Amino acid sequence: MNATVERFLLYLRNERNLSWRTVDLYRRDLDQWVSYATAGGHPLDVASVTSGDLRAWLIERSSHGDCPGTLRHKVQALRALYRYLLRRGEVTSNPAAQVELAKLPKPLPRFVREQTVNTVLDADIDMQDFTQVRDRLIVMLLYETGIRLSELIGLQDAAVDVTKRELKVRGKRDKDRIVPFGDELVQWIETYRALRATVGAECGNLLITLKGKPLYPSLVYHVVHDSLAQAGGNGKLSPHVLRHTFASVMLNHGAELNSVKELLGHENLAATQVYTHVTLSELQHNYELAHPRALKKGGYYGY
C-alpha cells in the first residue's frame, strides 16, 4: 500500500468519519491505480501525475470490462485524493478534476402493460363502498390523466369540472395546466362525489380519507401497488409508473409527442422524448411475440 494513499484512507476514516465499507471502496480503486502507476518498479510521484495518465488508466480499466458506473467511482476516488493532497500542499493541481466522468446510460421509464391496468379498471367492486370507489378512482385518474402523485394529492375538488371534462392541475414550481379526461372518468367522479358527501370532507380536496382528510403518499402508493399486483403486475408498481404508462400508451396509440409533453407538464420536449424509446421497445417486444419470422431461431429462415 502506498504511504500517501494510506494516509488519505486514514483521513477518510478518522476525520471524515466514513464507514469502513466506504473506505474499503476507496481503497480498492486507489490500490488498482497505484498498481498501474508503479508497474515496472517505478515509484509513484503523485505530484507528477497528469490527467492524460489517469485517462490512460481508465481506458485500460474499460478494456478489462469496467462499466461506466465503476469508472465514475474511480475518477471520484482520485478527485477526492487530490483534493486532500491540495489542502495539505503536497500537489499544486488536481489532474482528476480534468477527467470527465463516464456517462451512465439512462434507464427507460418503467411501465405496466395496458392489459394489466385494464384488468384493474374492469374488475367488479361494491359501488356503494366509499373506499373501493375512491381507490378505483385513484388508479383511474393516474392512468387516464398522467398526473403526478403530488398533483393527485393536491387536486382540489373545485378544479375538477365534469361538464368541461377537464381538471386544473398545479404542477412543479406552482405551474398550472389543464388536463382533459373522458366520459368514463366523469361517471366515476360523480359516483365518488355522491359517496363522499356521506363521509363528510374537512378539506377542499377531491380525494380524501375516511376521516375527511387529504390523502397522503403512502396511502396512494399502497392503493396503486396492491391493485396492480392483484391484476398480475410485477416489478415496481408505483403511482409514477402509472404516469409512465399513460405517456407510453398515448404515444403507442398515435398521440403527438408535443401533446403528451403538455399533458405531462414537462418543461421541455427532451423529458418527453424518453417515452419514444419505451414505445419502440414495446413495439419490438410485440413484433418478436407476434411475427412468425421473428420466432425462428437464428434470424430469418432459421440461419
Of 16, 28, 172, 293, which one is the catalytic site residue? 172
Indicate whether 193 pLDDT > 90.
Answer: yes
Of 73, 243, 244, 261, which one is the catalytic site residue? 243
Of 7, 83, 165, 266, which one is the catalytic site residue? 266
* Ranges of each domain in the chain: 3-98, 114-290
pLDDT in tens, 195-247: 999 988 889 999 999 999 999 999 999 999 999 999 988 778 999 999 999 99
Pick the CATH number of 114-290 from 1.10.443.10, 1.10.150.120, 2.40.40.20, 3.40.640.10: 1.10.443.10
The structural architecture, per CATH, of the domain 3-98 is: Orthogonal Bundle (1.10)
pLDDT in tens, 56-73: 999 999 998 998 889 999
- 275 catalytic per annotation: yes
- 240 catalytic per annotation: yes
Specify the pTM. 0.61
Of 148, 165, 168, 225, which one is the catalytic site residue? 148
Of 7, 165, 170, 240, which one is the catalytic site residue? 240
pLDDT at 286: 52
- 73 catalytic per annotation: no
Of 26, 84, 143, 275, which one is the catalytic site residue? 275
- 172 catalytic per annotation: yes
- 148 catalytic per annotation: yes
Cell of residue 150, nine digits: 403530488
- Return the percentage of the chain with pLDDT > 70, whole number: 89
